[in-house]
């Protein structure tokens, strides 16, 4: 039996394009002699479709698409993922299902049993877990078909009380196929290989694992579909961050072979290389899928906006990126020079718009109220917000999308101005700590100097008052980021972070800043997610609370 794995990029709710893409790949796979072509979890509607799933019409469109696909499915079988109505009286209205389609008909249906409901996942919001499991007979083989999380219930600390493969294995399958929508984080690929390999080994079956690829707003799916032999050894790996189709033969003894050279990555890519690729895909799909072409951003001469500008130029083409220099009386000469150098290096569009007149107009307008009170955060924020108004006016006039340039360290401690530098359609590096932004800059410069070295080596500053430096009010970033990572990703208590060797006052202050900034983060743009715990839908905190704040 020849199996095609079709690792494709879908668009949420775009039934027309998703269906066309699936049908096109059925035809290609058939032409290439495949007996079965496998598509990803919920490929028909895109993942995550979120509360669209609560609309009956949306679910009907999923079924209608499946029927269209079935009509094209002759001389080859296919597996597709879609939500289906739960026909039992009890429980949620839907199942997260896979159809096995053969000769124009849905021959078998599998329901996902383990429904992730943590971090960015909300599957139990919509779906009732499957409780019955049957292998699928096809071309003399017996396929154990499961969906994503179904293979992720670890032995040591099981999150679920069941394990579908424990039931399926009793029916003596000779191969496992798992269709997934497993989002990217920079440390996820090795976990996947370990956990899926453990399944192949435990059940002594080869495993074909097919993942989604492509970004859906903040969530990036990295592809990297995997093939294991029945000892749990990884024997092939599809490319990451791009669409790809590969073919495998399953012989009568349950052995998987293939004709192409194995594309297993011999050296695991670094975290930063993965983050770089993920963000590029994230930007590309955000613009492409929302029908926009051109990005705008404010370029300060600092490292954050420089990195975002370089990433945008790579994702969209430099000709589609408008960098705006917005100098104030506090902008240093080197900042303007650094920003200009970057524009030259990239070849993107640029404008310079001084903010002096508008900030003065604000200060004059407010003088009857402010009555000579000293310059403070109010005037600092006026600068940042004036820049946002100018950038948004450019968006409204010319159809750009504003890129947010805040990094994760700033977003964490609330070092940013709401409705000012925290604006944007999408946050590009909001899940990248400042110390990682430096690494990203060096990675972007790996072949030649794109980001001016001076932007990398000078001390970070918001330049909202004379001689301001980030370290005036924050710890050094290498300390700050380690504390933040323990608190945010690790969910450590202050006590345990202090025990790890950090200064008690610093730790308590940093955690307090993080908790007090929830109201700011609530109103920020979606953040391209590259870490296991990003701000946004995966981290849900009370705003009005009183805990470590």
548 near 512, Cβ under 8 Å?
yes
d(CA 57, CA 288): 26
**Does the footprint of its own copies cover residue 393 (CB under 8 A)?**
yes
**Does the footprint of its own copies cover residue 52 (CB under 8 A)?**
yes
Residue 286 or residue 477: which is nearer to its own copies going by CB? 286
| Interacting span for its own copies (CB under 8 A) from 308-316, 333-341, 473-481, 523-531 | 523-531
DSSP run (H or E) holding 348:
none
Active-site residue flag, 112? yes
DSSP letter (8 states) at residue 329: T
Rule CB under 8 A: choose which of 20, 23, 28, 50 binds its own copies: 50
Provide the 10 A C-beta neighbour count for residue 338: 24
d(CA 249, CA 442): 43
d(CA 94, CA 370): 58
Residue 159 or residue 195: which is nearer to its own copies going by CB? 159
**Does the footprint of its own copies cover residue 396 (CB under 8 A)?**
yes
**Does the footprint of its own copies cover residue 349 (CB under 8 A)?**
no
d(CA 168, CA 166): 6
**Does the footprint of its own copies cover residue 58 (CB under 8 A)?**
yes
Rule CB under 8 A: choose which of 117, 171, 257, 262 binds its own copies: 117
DSSP letter (8 states) at residue 13: T
Rule CB under 8 A: choose which of 493, 506, 512, 532 binds its own copies: 493
Closest contact distance (angstroms) between CB of 424 and its own copies is 9
**Does the footprint of its own copies cover residue 257 (CB under 8 A)?**
no
**Does the footprint of its own copies cover residue 500 (CB under 8 A)?**
no
Sort 344 into a burial class: Cβ within 10 Å, 0-12 / 13-18 / 19+: exposed
Pick from 535, 530, 430, 528: which is nearest to 488 by CA? Answer: 535
The sheet that has 136-138: what strands, in order across it? 136-138, 141-147, 175-179, 207-210, 226-228, 234-237
Residue 176 or residue 394: which is nearer to its own copies going by CB? 394
**Does the footprint of its own copies cover residue 29 (CB under 8 A)?**
no
Beta strand spans in 8-133 (E):
36-38, 77-85, 94-102, 105-111
Residues in contact with its own copies, counted by CB under 8 A, come to a total of: 94
Residue 441 or residue 462: which is nearer to its own copies going by CB? 462
Active-site residue flag, 41? yes
The catalytic position among 148, 348, 395, 423 is: 148
| Interacting span for its own copies (CB under 8 A) from 224-232, 428-436, 438-446, 516-524 | 516-524
Residue 66 or residue 108: which is nearer to its own copies going by CB? 66
Residue 92 or residue 458: which is nearer to its own copies going by CB? 92
Q: Please, which of residues 150-179 interact with its own copies by CB under 8 A? A: 157-161
Closest contact distance (angstroms) between CB of 386 and its own copies is 7
d(CA 465, CA 463): 6
**Does the footprint of its own copies cover residue 524 (CB under 8 A)?**
yes
DSSP run (H or E) holding 297:
strand 295-299
3-state secondary structure of 102: strand
421 near 406, Cβ under 8 Å?
yes
**Does the footprint of its own copies cover residue 255 (CB under 8 A)?**
no
Q: Please, which of residues 404-423 interact with its own copies by CB under 8 A? A: 418-419, 423
Q: Please, which of residues 96-115 interact with its own copies by CB under 8 A? A: none
Closest contact distance (angstroms) between CB of 255 and its own copies is 34
Active-site residue flag, 128? no
Q: What is the residue whose two structure tokens read 């430099």? A: 318
For the four alpha carbons of 42, 45, 47 and 52, in that order, the dihedral sign comes to negative
Per-residue x/- track, 271-290, its own copies (CB under 8 A) = --------------xx--xx
Per-residue x/- track, 435-474, its own copies (CB under 8 A) = ----------------------------------------
d(CA 303, CA 284): 21
**Does the footprint of its own copies cover residue 294 (CB under 8 A)?**
no
263 near 15, Cβ under 8 Å?
no
Rule CB under 8 A: choose which of 33, 75, 91, 317 binds its own copies: 91
**Does the footprint of its own copies cover residue 20 (CB under 8 A)?**
no
Closest contact distance (angstroms) between CB of 373 and its own copies is 6
Q: How far is CA 514 from the centre of its chain?
A: 22
DSSP letters spanning 28-43: HHHHTT-SEEE--TTT
42 near 82, Cβ under 8 Å?
yes
The catalytic position among 2, 21, 41, 518 is: 41
d(CA 317, CA 313): 5
Q: List, by residue number, the catalytic residues.
A: 41, 112, 148
């Amino acid at each position: 039996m020849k199996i095609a794995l079709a690792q494709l990029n879908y668009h949420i709710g775009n039934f027309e394009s998703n269906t066309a893409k699936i049908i096109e790949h059925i035809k290609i796979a058939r032409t290439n002699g495949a007996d079965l072509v496998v598509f990803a979890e919920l490929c028909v509607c895109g993942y995550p479709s979120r509360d669209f799933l609560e609309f009956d019409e949306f679910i009907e469109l999923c079924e209608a698409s499946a029927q269209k696909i079935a009509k094209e499915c002759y001389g080859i079988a296919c597996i597709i993922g879609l939500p289906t109505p739960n026909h039992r009286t009890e429980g949620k209205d839907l199942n997260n299902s896979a159809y096995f389609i053969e000769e124009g008909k849905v021959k078998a249906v599998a329901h996902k049993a383990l429904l992730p409901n943590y971090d960015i996942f909300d599957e139990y919001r919509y779906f009732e877990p499957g409780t019955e499991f049957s292998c699928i007979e096809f071309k003399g083989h017996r396929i154990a078909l499961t969906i994503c999380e179904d293979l992720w219930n670890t032995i040591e600390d099981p999150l679920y009380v069941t394990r579908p493969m424990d039931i399926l294995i009793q029916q003596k399958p000779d191969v496992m196929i798992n269709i997934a929508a497993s989002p990217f984080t920079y440390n996820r690929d090795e976990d996947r290989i370990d956990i899926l390999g453990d399944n192949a080994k435990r059940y002594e079956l080869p495993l074909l694992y097919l993942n989604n690829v492509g970004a859906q707003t903040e969530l990036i799916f990295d592809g990297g579909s995997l093939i294991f032999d029945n000892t749990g050894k990884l024997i092939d790996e599809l490319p990451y961050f791009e669409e790809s189709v590969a073919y495998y033969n399953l012989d009568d003894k349950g052995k998987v072979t293939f004709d192409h050279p194995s594309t297993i990555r011999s050296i695991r890519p670094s975290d930063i290389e993965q983050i770089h690729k993920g963000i590029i895909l994230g930007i590309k799909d955000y613009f492409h899928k929302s029908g926009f072409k051109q990005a705008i951003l404010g370029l300060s001469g600092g490292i954050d906006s420089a990195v975002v500008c370089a990433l945008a130029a790579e994702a969209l083409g430099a000709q589609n990126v408008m960098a705006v220099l917005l100098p104030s009386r506090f902008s240093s000469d080197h900042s303007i020079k650094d920003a200009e150098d970057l524009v030259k290096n990239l070849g993107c569009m640029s404008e310079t718009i001084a903010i002096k007149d508008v900030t003065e107009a604000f200060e004059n307008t407010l003088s009857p109220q402010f009555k000579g009170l000293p310059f403070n955060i109010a005037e600092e924020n006026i600068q940042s917000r004036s820049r946002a108004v100018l950038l948004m006016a450019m968006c409204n006039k010319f159809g750009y999308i504003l890129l947010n340039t805040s990094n994760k360290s700033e977003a964490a401690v609330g070092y940013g101005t709401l409705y000012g530098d925290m604006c944007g359609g999408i946050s590009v590096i909001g899940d990248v700590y400042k110390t990682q932004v430096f690494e990203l800059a060096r990675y972007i410069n790996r072949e030649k100097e794109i980001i001016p070295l001076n932007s990398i080596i000078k001390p970070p500053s918001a330049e909202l008052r004379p001689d301001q430096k980030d370290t005036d009010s924050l710890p050094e970033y290498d300390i700050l980021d380690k504390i933040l990572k323990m608190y945010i990703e690790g969910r450590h208590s202050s006590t345990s972070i202090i025990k790890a060797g950090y200064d008690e006052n610093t730790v308590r202050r940093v955690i307090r800043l993080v908790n007090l900034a929830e109201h700011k983060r609530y109103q920020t743009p979606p953040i391209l997610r590259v870490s296991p715990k990003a701000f946004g839908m995966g981290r849900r905190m009370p705003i009005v609370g009183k805990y470590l704040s």
